[in-house]
Amino acid sequence: MRNVKVCENYIPQVFVAKELREISRDFTRPEEMIREAISNSMDAQASEIKIAAYTDITYGEEELVVEIRDDGIGMDKDALKGFFDLGRSTKRGNKDKIGEKGHGTKIFYNSSEVIVYTKYIHDGKIFKATLKDPFRQLNIVVNKGEGDPPSILLEEIDQSDTYLDHVSSGTFIIVRGYDRSNTATFKHEFLKDYILWFTAWGSIKNKIPNSTLPSCKLYLKGINRHDFEEIPFGHPFPDECFDFRELRKIDSRRPENHYVRAWVKSSPVINYPQHQVDIVFYVEGDGAKRAYNEMLKWHGRAKQGRYKGEDQYTVSERYGIYLCKDYIPIQRKNQEFAEKSEWTKWHAFVNCQAFELTANRATVDNTPKHLLQCIINTAKKVIEEEIIGTDEYQDFAERVRIEAGRRKAENERNSLKRRVNKSKKQPKYRIEKDGKTMGFIEPSNEQGVIWVLAQILAIWPKTFKWEIKDINSHFGYDLLIEQSDPLSNAIEHRFVECKYCLTDEEDFNHSLTFVHQIICWDVKLIDGDCVEDVQKHSYVFRSYNPSEEEPYRKFFLDSGKPNKVEVIVLSKFLEDCFSMKKL
């Protein structure tokens, strides 16, 4: 019989500092701090939320300061500890709350200082929590491989010298040096857009029938604004307008560009009837989108007074169809639902409370695979049968296709005019040799060089001591040639590369090992210039004047080895050998 000795019941240990740092780093977008703060304030039943971002030089260097204040129920001491703890949330299990994992507020650790004042509604006590230099302290402990996370100083105070002294409850958070004081994502316009698209304040609940909306106001003052702006609750949608008689009054030429039609649908999840998907599906022309969304880039000159900044985006970068939880957009899934670019006309959302999110709320990938696929299949079925399959949608889609064809024809017509005008201004030349002549337009690109070369070889096939066996200007080298070795008469194959203008190695993206000649219209190199091919082999550009043996100007790329790469500069070669004249 075996003897078994129980040593101990071991409980796995957690390196808390490392986990805190990793969780805080999982939130890869700095603005996600605002998302988490808004969720907490709304969960606390606030009637007013104020968010301000500014820079401060109190400590010498310019430092980003973000303040979030609300008049929610506040926190008692235990809940305040949970604010800083990992994975501990007093809201866990409460499905009416947005934040229940205890991960979101760990994003605050990515800062130089966090101060939290809170006044609890049930006892009126005010607590202050101070976390000094969390980002630096966490890194020190993690790099050492041992030690505790930074401690939080908790104080019960009689008064806070803030607005909390004059309200029954609330929470006031001050974050300094967040994201190493990177201010770019705390610009007012950027933050406003983010809040309305990716936070609980930009919820699509405002379009779901019988939804309870918060009786709350939110005010924002971004880094470049001097006063607070009230941000209306709910994700922004345009008013419906799908009567083409009315649309033609807006734009007689492209009425579908201002088309807006909405569908709101609900359905139990296939194989999971206890769960439901809610779908808000808007079809919008690009003109309609730009009428309410100032963050969209504007083609051509923007209207006076319209916002213009580096943080703007295109329709294809933002629009499409999003998966949501808590009616907050989480993850864009265009390819799951649409073919080609059809989704660029969509402003659509699929919400399901059965989605399970990753710790940083970036994806729905924690959802069990079969459940996730059933949710998506349910949404696809509803969208295909009850939206895309309708006469209204198909009528709009057909008008868009017709308009796309009209615009293509118009673009081609304009292109024809431009090409004709350009051709009138392009220099024209005539060459002659052996009693034969040829006229041509000066090439303006690589394809033009190949075309001129083809015409020359058709009339004077013996111009070069090789024969073309293949042409491919889209990939690799342009010409495959065949020639006889002058000593052995053996047939060998090499490449000829064509260029409009030979400049330097940045223009030449090939190896020169198998290149026999480079043919170009012009050259910007001068004698003695050094270039490298993609293999980092060095070549010196050499030029030689005509001689009795060689009656034309010659150019080479010389690697110092026997086989030099000849450069035929057509503009000079044709002057020397074909008596080229400009007409």
| Residue 149 · residue 20 · CB < 8 Å | yes
Residue 108 reports pLDDT greater than 90? no
Same domain, 279 and 392: yes
Domain count, the chain: 3
Most confident listed range (127-136, 165-174, 535-544): 165-174
Q: Going along 270-337, which residue ranges are E strands? A: 272-284, 320-325, 328-332
Residue 236 lies in a domain: no
What is the residue-averaged pLDDT of the chain? 88
Q: Give the position of tokens 């009315």.
A: 246
What global pTM score does this model have?
Answer: 0.73
| Residue 344 · residue 296 · CB < 8 Å | no
Interatomic CA distance for residues 280 and 330, integer angstroms: 14
Same domain, 494 and 459: yes
Mean pLDDT over 448-467 rounds to 92
Determine the pLDDT at residue 24.
60
CA separation (Å) from 210 to 66, 205, 206, 207?
35, 9, 9, 9
Burial code (b: 16+ CB inside 10 Å, e: under 16) for 392-407 equals ebeebeebbeebeeee
Closest CA to 103 of 171, 172, 40: 40
Query: How confident is the model over 178-200, as pLDDT tens digits?
Result: 888 889 889 999 999 999 999 99
Interatomic CA distance for residues 297 and 464, integer angstroms: 52
- Residue 68 backbone phi and psi in degrees, to 5: -125, 120
Q: 231, 257, 280: which is the final residue of a domain?
A: 231
Determine the pLDDT at residue 488.
74
Residue 146 lies in a domain: yes
Query: How confident is the model over 294-347, as pLDDT tens digits?
Result: 999 987 666 777 888 888 999 999 999 999 999 999 999 998 898 777 888 999
Interatomic CA distance for residues 42 and 40, integer angstroms: 5
Residue 419 lies in a domain: no
Residue 145 lies in a domain: yes
The neighbouring-strand residues paired with 52 are 67, 221
Tokens of 504: 């330097």
Query: How confident is the model over 185-240, as pLDDT tens digits?
Result: 899 999 999 999 999 999 999 999 999 999 999 999 999 899 999 999 999 999 99
Residue 288 lies in a domain: yes
Determine the pLDDT at residue 208.
94
Q: 187, 207, 231: which is the final residue of a domain?
A: 231
Query: How confident is the model over 392-409, as pLDDT tens digits?
Result: 999 888 888 877 777 788
Same domain, 52 and 113: yes
- pLDDT category of residue 89 using cuts at 50, 70 and 90: low
Same domain, 91 and 162: yes
Q: What pairing do the DSSP bridges indicate for beta strands 436-441 and 428-433?
A: antiparallel
Catalogue the long-range contacts made by 567-572 (C-beta closer than 8 Å, 24 or more residues apart).
567/502, 567/517, 567/518, 567/519, 567/520, 567/523, 567/541, 568/517, 568/518, 568/519, 568/520, 569/502, 569/520, 569/521, 569/522, 569/523, 570/449, 570/452, 570/453, 570/519, 570/520, 570/521, 571/521, 571/522
- pLDDT category of residue 102 using cuts at 50, 70 and 90: very low
Sheet containing 436-441: give its strands across.
436-441, 428-433, 581-582
Residue 550 reports pLDDT greater than 50? yes
Determine the pLDDT at residue 219.
98
34-38, 109-113, 486-490: which range is least confident on average?
486-490
Residue 150 reports pLDDT greater than 90? no
Same domain, 175 and 227: yes
Same domain, 535 and 563: yes
Residue 9 lies in a domain: no
Determine the pLDDT at residue 375.
97
Interatomic CA distance for residues 290 and 315, integer angstroms: 9
Residue 31 reports pLDDT greater than 90? no
Residue 467 lies in a domain: yes
Alpha helix stretches (DSSP H) within 351-477? 369-383, 391-425, 446-459
Residue 14 reports pLDDT greater than 60? yes
Q: Give the position of tokens 């206890």.
A: 274
Determine the pLDDT at residue 533.
83
Same domain, 442 and 373: no
| Residue 86 · residue 16 · CB < 8 Å | yes
The larger pLDDT score, comparing residue 18 to residue 75, is at 75
Closest CA to 348 of 329, 376, 372: 329
Residue 293 reports pLDDT greater than 70? yes
Interatomic CA distance for residues 30 and 20, integer angstroms: 16
Same domain, 106 and 254: no
The residues, ordered by sequence, that sit 6+ positions from 393 with a Cβ below 8 Å of its Cβ are 261, 283, 387
Same domain, 531 and 560: yes
- Residue 232 backbone phi and psi in degrees, to 5: -65, 145
What CATH number does residue 339 fall under?
Answer: 3.30.230
Residue 8 reports pLDDT greater than 60? yes
What CATH number does residue 57 fall under?
Answer: 3.30.565.10
Radius of gyration over every alpha carbon of the chain, rounded to an integer in angstroms: 34
Residue 87 reports pLDDT greater than 90? no
Same domain, 24 and 147: yes
Tokens of 206: 């405002």
Burial code (b: 16+ CB inside 10 Å, e: under 16) for 354-365 equals bbebbbbbeebe
Residue 581 reports pLDDT greater than 60? yes
Interatomic CA distance for residues 460 and 31, integer angstroms: 67
Residue 340 lies in a domain: yes
Q: Which domain holds residue 288?
A: 244-295+313-404
Q: 231, 254, 279: which is the final residue of a domain?
A: 231
Determine the pLDDT at residue 561.
83
What counts of helices (H) and strands (E) characterise the chain? 13, 24
Closest CA to 351 of 321, 373, 381, 371: 321
Interatomic CA distance for residues 347 and 284, integer angstroms: 7
Closest CA to 150 of 161, 166, 139: 139
Interatomic CA distance for residues 398 and 575, integer angstroms: 56
Same domain, 256 and 227: no
Same domain, 189 and 63: yes
| Residue 557 · residue 577 · CB < 8 Å | no
